[in-house]
Structure 1
Amino acid sequence: MAAQSPWLHEEVARRMGERLDWIRLQPSQWMVWEPLRGGQQAHQDLLLRYGKGQAWVETRHPAKTEAVLRSATEAGHGALGRLGDKLGAMWRKPRTTVVGLGGTPAGATQMVWANLGLQVEPDPQAVLRHWHAALAVDGFVMFSCLGPDTGAELRRVYQAMGWPTPTQAFTDMHDWGDMLIEAGFAEPVMDMERITLSFASPERLLQELRELGRNLAPGRAPGLHGRAWRAALLQALAQHGETEGDGALRLSFEVIYGHAVKPAPRMKLAAETNISLDAMRQALRGKAPD
């Protein structure tokens, strides 16, 4: 697992962070999903933005994640001055708690933050349900992921060569909205943008792809490729890759942004329902009746 987030992940996290300016709720408890791949700088920005709150960090690698994030925070003390000291204080328990996936207590958070991670989850609907369970009523989720147009230029190169697809089938923006509803969220807001990167050479493009992750398509090649394959791929990119006016190779990424809230649970009604006064009071306060 890389100790740093890819440049694209950091940039998308920065753009997603700008959207928090439009959110009225200021979370006092919040959770970050897989920050090492999702934008380490963004995690520190969240610590500064919501510095008085309790932060949960969920990851498949708790020990390494905590070590990397603490090291990055301590390294920034000198450059950030008082801000760096503030970040260091926020890492002192119990302000930040690093747990394994699924370790955040139910109803413990008011915000779930997840950047560019859902597209690599084998069961994203289960992840959405977990986020819903971790949130308190009126809490919200902010996430981003890659959409279907990601790597379109690369897929066309592979198609021209008669090779298997180089990317998995990414989920459409509207399908994410439907899955949010199915997971129990309300008022989903989905939008997208395309980010196009330019590369001076095929070698530089492949380096970026290695940093971004792997091909999760079921029909991908079952084994490892050798040097001959790499040479053939570089030649194919040079011959069939789409270029800018200056000859730089172009590769596009469709970035999907999602936001939704956890509503108060609905009271189950039968043909005839008797509701106690206490249960009605709890429902009006936005709590599930006992």
Structure 2
Amino acid sequence: MSAAFVDRQQVGRRFSRAAASYPQGDFFAREVDRRMQERLDYVKLEPGRILDLGCSRGGSFAGLTARYPQAELLGLDLAPAMLAQDQAPAGWLRRLGLAKSAGPQRLAADAAKLPLKTRSTALVWSNLLLHWLDDPLPVLAEAHRVLEVGGLLMFSTLGPDSLKELRTAFADGYAHTQRFIDMHDLGDMLVGCGFADPVMDMEVITLTYADLDAMFADLRAAGSGCAMVARRHGLSGRRAWAAARAAYEGLRRDGKLPATFEVVYGHAWKAEAKQTADGRAIVRFDTPRQK
């Protein structure tokens, strides 16, 4: 068994600690969610059930429920503390006329081991989850399994140029950001899982800050500190911090410090299987219609 890159327990701890204050730092996730929701304008889909993978406090619930008011909505997250905070409570959605009486369901579970039946979901939605995983492939495979034929997977994640300034500033051999996977590799994973017609695209969003402490405050509020196994597990020394700050200051432009995020978007459909799990081809015969 290969060694893990991502400290899964640390991911859970960071998001659990950030749960109560998450609205102070999730502005970036909400903006990416808004842009993902716009992409649904071009999709013809009437889902009976929607699964939101990595739903955190339910920030995507209102938009998805407004678009698909008849769909059952299930939010899944690794951190129970996030689910308990309930950013989109059922009562609030009902008052807006956006939810059934039961409202969205919430479940604390592992995205790589979904407690759902095969072919039980029409839309799997995932906003900024995949870069927190040691390997996205099992999660994509599970998404494919639970989708019904004709169902859609739509996700966003961060690409390799994300927080490149931070990695450059800390030249100490430790990981200071997550490991971000190239969108072409993600596209290959989708095909390998059996998805049809994957579409991948990306855009660069650059946030600017007055100082480095403000950027770190936003990352902490969003639970977005580094959770890699290769991160520094103790405190950095004063000399290392001073060197990193000086290096980052060298990137200041027009009085602001940049923080680059490469946002990767992907979607793919589940087509009818062409072969069985053991590799045998599936051949279908249509019987002649009676005249």
Q: Normalized against structure 1, the TM-score is what?
A: 0.79
In the other structure, the counterpart of 1:203 is: 213
Give the aligned residue type for 2:89: T
Match among 230, 236, 244 for residue 236 of structure 1: 244
Give the aligned residue type for 2:269: V
Which whole-Å CA distance do the structure 1 matches of 2:282 and 2:32 have between them? 50
Relative to structure 1, the CA distance from residue 163 to residue 142 in structure 2 (aligned partners, 3 Å threshold; closer, same or farther) is same
The percentage of counterpart residues that share the same residue type is: 33
Which whole-Å CA distance do the structure 2 matches of 1:59 and 1:98 have between them? 8
Relative to structure 1, the CA distance from residue 105 to residue 57 in structure 2 (aligned partners, 3 Å threshold; closer, same or farther) is farther
The reply to whether residue 22 of structure 1 matches residue 16 of structure 2 is no
Superposed CA offset, 1:234-269 (max 9, x none): 663255331121x1111101110000000001156x
The reply to whether residue 68 of structure 1 matches residue 88 of structure 2 is no
Give the aligned residue type for 2:212: P
Which whole-Å CA distance do the structure 2 matches of 1:12 and 1:209 have between them? 15
Cα deviation for residue 174 of structure 1 reads: 0.2
In the other structure, the counterpart of 1:167 is: 177
Which whole-Å CA distance do the structure 2 matches of 1:234 and 1:134 have between them? 49
Relative to structure 1, the CA distance from residue 234 to residue 141 in structure 2 (aligned partners, 3 Å threshold; closer, same or farther) is farther
In the other structure, the counterpart of 1:57 is: 75
Match among 258, 266, 285 for residue 266 of structure 2: 258
Relative to structure 1, the CA distance from residue 27 to residue 202 in structure 2 (aligned partners, 3 Å threshold; closer, same or farther) is same
Relative to structure 1, the CA distance from residue 47 to residue 158 in structure 2 (aligned partners, 3 Å threshold; closer, same or farther) is same
Relative to structure 1, the CA distance from residue 267 to residue 280 in structure 2 (aligned partners, 3 Å threshold; closer, same or farther) is farther
Matched positions, count: 258
The runs of 5 or more residues in structure 1 that have no matched partner are: 78-82, 283-290
In the other structure, the counterpart of 2:32 is: 12
Relative to structure 1, the CA distance from residue 164 to residue 45 in structure 2 (aligned partners, 3 Å threshold; closer, same or farther) is same
Relative to structure 1, the CA distance from residue 218 to residue 73 in structure 2 (aligned partners, 3 Å threshold; closer, same or farther) is closer
Superposed CA offset, 1:97-154 (max 9, x none): 3233312322111110000000111231110111001100010100000100011111
Q: Normalized against structure 2, the TM-score is what?
A: 0.79
The reply to whether residue 43 of structure 1 matches residue 41 of structure 2 is no
Give the aligned residue type for 2:76: E
After TM superposition, list the pairs within 5 Å mapping 1:212-251 onto structure 2: 212=222, 213-221=224-232, 223-225=233-235, 229=238, 233=241, 236-241=244-249, 242-245=251-254, 247-251=255-259
Which whole-Å CA distance do the structure 2 matches of 1:234 and 1:74 have between them? 48
In the other structure, the counterpart of 2:191 is: 181
In the other structure, the counterpart of 1:285 is: none
Which whole-Å CA distance do the structure 2 matches of 1:153 and 1:35 have between them? 28
Cα deviation for residue 189 of structure 1 reads: 0.2
Q: Is the CA contact 1:58–1:103 (under 8 Å) kept in the aligned structure 2?
A: no
User: Larger relative CO (CA 8 A, sep 6+): 1 or 2?
Assistant: 2
Which whole-Å CA distance do the structure 2 matches of 1:200 and 1:107 have between them? 49
The reply to whether residue 34 of structure 1 matches residue 42 of structure 2 is no
In the other structure, the counterpart of 2:133 is: 121
Give the aligned residue type for 2:170: Y
Cα deviation for residue 219 of structure 1 reads: 2.8
Which whole-Å CA distance do the structure 1 matches of 2:157 and 2:187 have between them? 12
Which whole-Å CA distance do the structure 1 matches of 2:157 and 2:243 have between them? 30
Q: Is the CA contact 2:56–2:79 (under 8 Å) kept in the aligned structure 1?
A: no
RMSD over aligned CA atoms reads 2.8
Which whole-Å CA distance do the structure 2 matches of 1:98 and 1:274 have between them? 37
- State the secondary structure of the residue aligned to 1:190: strand
Larger Rg: 1
